[in-house]
Structure 1
Amino acid sequence: MRTLLKRLYPFLPVPLQNAGISAFGYVYRRERFGRDFAPTLAGFEERDRWDATRMREYTDRKLRHVLRRAMDAPFYREHWSAAGLGPRHVDEVTTETLARLPPLKKEALRRSPYAFVPDRGPAVRGLLSYFSSGSTGTPIRALCTRSGQQRFAAAREARSYRWAGTSILRPRAMIGGQPVVPTASSDPPYYRYNAAERQVYFSAYHIAPGHLTDYVAGFNRYRPESVTGYAFSQFVVARLMLEQDLRFEFTPAAAITSSEKLTDRMRRVIQEVWGCRAYEEYGSVENCGLVTECEAGRLHANPDFGVIEIVDADGYPVEPGVEGRVLCTGLLNDAQFLVRYEIGDTGVWSREPCPCGREHLPVVEGITGRVEDVVVGIDGRELVRFHGIFIGLPYVLEGQVIQEALDRFTVRVITDDGFGGTQEATIRQRFKERLGLVDVQVERVGELERTSRGKLRAVISRLPRPGTAGAGPTS
């Protein structure tokens, strides 16, 4: 049924598209807000008031359970045994001695996602499957149970939404990369409505000066209490509203941003135009770490969601103020166990405590995720996160988008054997769906351009950067 609806969706009139999205929303609501949601939420809210000692003892207990269960998964059984690690060694590990275990590279998860699911002990049933954005290569397949999904949602409700003075259960807006508006040349409206969750979903691919009045009309029609989604897309909507002297007819309670760094300029513009504060959230589709912003404006790691380490090149903890690689060990997922997972980002612990008083939730000075420029369309639309460009293309190991001109792109790909004309045609079609008629050249290469720190530049723009167009996530 889901597959059939997805195939029919682009050809349906808008009211039926809204109905289809609402049907999906009903299913997702049951997955996320079932019986484990309320007790998990209560637990996170209670631990919000704990001291550091009590939280450390709690996370150590949860960590031991996770490590024991991880040994029932094929990957750890093989690799930890080869490293001479057995149950006795695992039982001795705490949050402070996690460095005794080897880091987990993302490529291992990419190639064998089911190897991290236990195949002995209590059976894992009812797996749900989610994919990363697929914008830099073969996407990650994240697996969880329905109960796990409810625990993830409860944690975000407690430490992200409620810290921001709102709720995921209240009417909300999302600006994201799902193709709710089927093609780049689609007529307005550039949003669809999920009645089951009271969520209005705005396309991140159609934000252009000439389309802005439709975006504002959508906000005014549904009056969401919170605005969530891509940080840069929220900023562009607010910035264009400022330039065109447009305002909402209501005031949201909060904006909660994700996917890119929320810069000071983004915060100022969103607050000035929307009249609400912007809160930053850091997470991932793997759901093994969560960093959220408190009322004092500082970022906190949530160790009862997942243990976050910031480590040096050898995998050992760095001092506060020193940048290092981010490793995450998830504590809520009872299906796919990720231990010391190298998520691909870098971070810095803060040297200063937070005035909010939550000394048991470590303060993060900052986290740097993907490095990318902004893509600009012929009609002035500004895009980040080319969601889904490489999804379903298993022979693409890594990819990089280079904008040479408004209507001309080069896509560089590192591939396995099996990549060919069909996959190239799929990439070109996906560009057409997002940007309209543009020229796309696909090049197979041996390596991709990276920053001086070794991070892949997912999108590189060769366009001149006048005025505001270059003020994207990497600025």
Structure 2
Amino acid sequence: MAQSLYTRLVADCLFPLHERLKGHKSVQLRKALEESQWFTRDVLQTRCNTQLQHFLTDVNASNPYYADQFRACGLSPSSFGDPEILLRIPCLTKELIRANRDRLLSHSDQPVRFMKTSGSSGQPLEFAVGRARISHDIAAKWRATRWWGLDIGDPEAVIWGSDIELGAQGLARQIRDRLIRSRLFPAKHLQGDALMALFDRLQAYQPAMIYGYPSILSLLAEAARQQKRHYNAGPLKVIFCTAEKLYDHQRQLIEDVFKAPVANGYGSRDAGFIAHECPQGRLHISAEDIIVEILDDQQNPVAAGTPGEIVVTHMATRAFPMIRYRTGDIGILSTEPCACGRQLPVLTDVIGRANDLLRATDGAPVHGAYIGNIVREDAAVAQFQFIQHNPRQFELKLVCRDGAQPNQSGLRAKLLDVVGGDAEIAIQHTAAIAVEQNGKFKYIVNRCRENPSLAGATEQSP
């Protein structure tokens, strides 16, 4: 891995010193992860079972909420060695976290940091993280960065719009980011000239990696393509996409314009950094500290290759345990080995994020991926947004290519097949669609989720 002397200084000295001062163990963890990723699956599974047993034992002794849960389920420390133990523990939901936040805090001398989700799927969720969880997340992201021949200290452009991150840019954070050559490019209010101004700033900065929302990066790429602007990739080696569903058309567009591969990442602020894409195109789960289950509507495990809800147990969350946490996202597990040689389990696909979920008029779940596939079949459509206002009323906003006319009747008919023949779909043409407050562009908007009193049949959880 050929790197500059400055990158080596940052990765080997400055960043490890920063992490030590913060009380984080990310350096040791990253080194351990880079060894364990090559272990056989049997060895990984054995280590995972042992780690889970220790985790549950610690949680039972220190956490009021789970001590009661385990007791109610007839579980004791002697039970925790059972490889199927998780199936005997109830799932954790956002609603349960809100109702039991204080009791989910473990008794410990270790400091915790309270965090909130952005609330993009409705009400923000407040939870706590300890130093162990932060260290594991940093180590997992760091390992994935190194898969691509890069390291902390290589120039990084972060295109982000969440008020949580933008509001955290204090002086100390700014100094740290300058030292490690990570530059934040706010993703708010990006339309028209602002998009091309960002394109020019990225071109001038010449990052080795870009990290951001796929929706914003694809909007930026589309704007550059329309204006026939060419990106001089220079040192750019990879574009990391996260926080949203990455669609195939977005990946292709971003790669075409920026002349660099896209690497998908799956995770969330509440669940942690769950999976990362390797250069061979497979999404590897950070299985050393995260257990991923795929469950059906009755919360039973599904066979590999079958879609279901992604449920996560993060074993570095002793301070605020996340055991069998329901993400609301839909994914598929694979049993096929990856050509990269790493034995970490693979998510074949994250079909849809919880934020993309709509409900048909009969209450059946509809993921935004299906809507997107229908609308993007029409070559006249440059951009769209599909909104569910209530259980029966939907709206399709369209931005069309110059001089092009979409097949409105065909679009409406296909969409009605998905959301219900008795639905009403209004189609509106517009010159532009604004990004959200958090800087993301939402293809799918569920007003029922944002306003539960409107939900009716859509109140069911996925």
TM-score, normalization by structure 2: 0.71
Between the aligned partners of 1:353 and 1:85, the Cα distance in structure 2 is: 35
Aligned-partner SS, 1:326: strand
Q: 1:222 to 1:179 in 2, by over 3 A?
A: farther
Q: Which amino acid aligns with 1:64?
A: Q
Q: 1:137 to 1:209 in 2, by over 3 A?
A: same
Q: Does 1:359 align with 2:349?
A: no
1:200-215 correspondence to structure 2 within 5 Å: 200-215=183-198
Q: Does 1:413 align with 2:439?
A: no
CA deviation map 1:310-358 (0-9, x unaligned): 0123322211121111111102233111111111112112354322233
Q: 1:43 aligns with which of 32, 35, 41?
A: 32
Q: 1:29 to 1:208 in 2, by over 3 A?
A: farther
Using the TM superposition, give the Cα deviation of residue 240 of structure 1 relative to its aligned residue in structure 2, in angstroms. Answer: 1.0
Q: Which amino acid aligns with 1:284?
A: S
CA contact (8 A) 2:265 2:275 kept: yes
Q: 1:226 aligns with which of 183, 190, 209?
A: 209
CA RMSD of aligned residues (A): 3.3
Between the aligned partners of 2:18 and 2:191, the Cα distance in structure 1 is: 31
CA deviation map 1:413-467 (0-9, x unaligned): 23xxxxxxxxxxxxxxxxxxxxxxxxxxxxxx2526749x965xxxxxxxxxxxx
CA contact (8 A) 1:155 1:305 kept: no
1:117-128 correspondence to structure 2 within 5 Å: 117-119=105-107, 123-128=108-113
Between the aligned partners of 2:91 and 2:162, the Cα distance in structure 1 is: 32
Q: Does 1:59 align with 2:57?
A: no
Q: Which amino acid aligns with 1:88?
A: S
Aligned-partner SS, 1:173: strand
Q: Who is 2:432 aligned against?
A: 380
Q: 1:337 to 1:244 in 2, by over 3 A?
A: same
CA contact (8 A) 1:309 1:327 kept: yes
Between the aligned partners of 1:247 and 1:310, the Cα distance in structure 2 is: 42
Aligned-partner SS, 1:321: coil
Aligned-partner SS, 1:283: strand
Q: Who is 2:170 aligned against?
A: none
Q: Which amino acid aligns with 2:191?
A: A
CA deviation map 1:193-231 (0-9, x unaligned): 952542222232222122233102221332221111211
Q: Does 1:248 align with 2:231?
A: yes
Using the TM superposition, give the Cα deviation of residue 243 of structure 1 relative to its aligned residue in structure 2, in angstroms. Answer: 1.1
Identity rate, percent: 23
Q: Does 1:149 align with 2:137?
A: no
Could you list the runs of 5+ residues in structure 1 that have no partner in the other structure? 1-25, 183-191, 389-399, 403-409, 415-444, 456-475
Using the TM superposition, give the Cα deviation of residue 129 of structure 1 relative to its aligned residue in structure 2, in angstroms. Answer: 1.8
Q: 1:177 to 1:144 in 2, by over 3 A?
A: same
Q: Does 1:321 align with 2:305?
A: yes
Misfit runs of 4+, over 6 Å: 375-379
1:66-145 correspondence to structure 2 within 5 Å: 66-71=55-60, 72-89=62-79, 91-94=80-83, 96-119=84-107, 123-145=108-130
Using the TM superposition, give the Cα deviation of residue 92 of structure 1 relative to its aligned residue in structure 2, in angstroms. Answer: 2.7
Q: Who is 1:282 aligned against?
A: 266
Q: Which amino acid aligns with 1:59?
A: C
Could you list the runs of 5+ residues in structure 2 that have no partner in the other structure? 1-14, 167-174, 357-367, 369-383, 387-396, 400-429
CA contact (8 A) 2:271 2:327 kept: no
Q: Which has more helix, going by share of residues?
A: 2
The number of residues matched between the two structures is 365
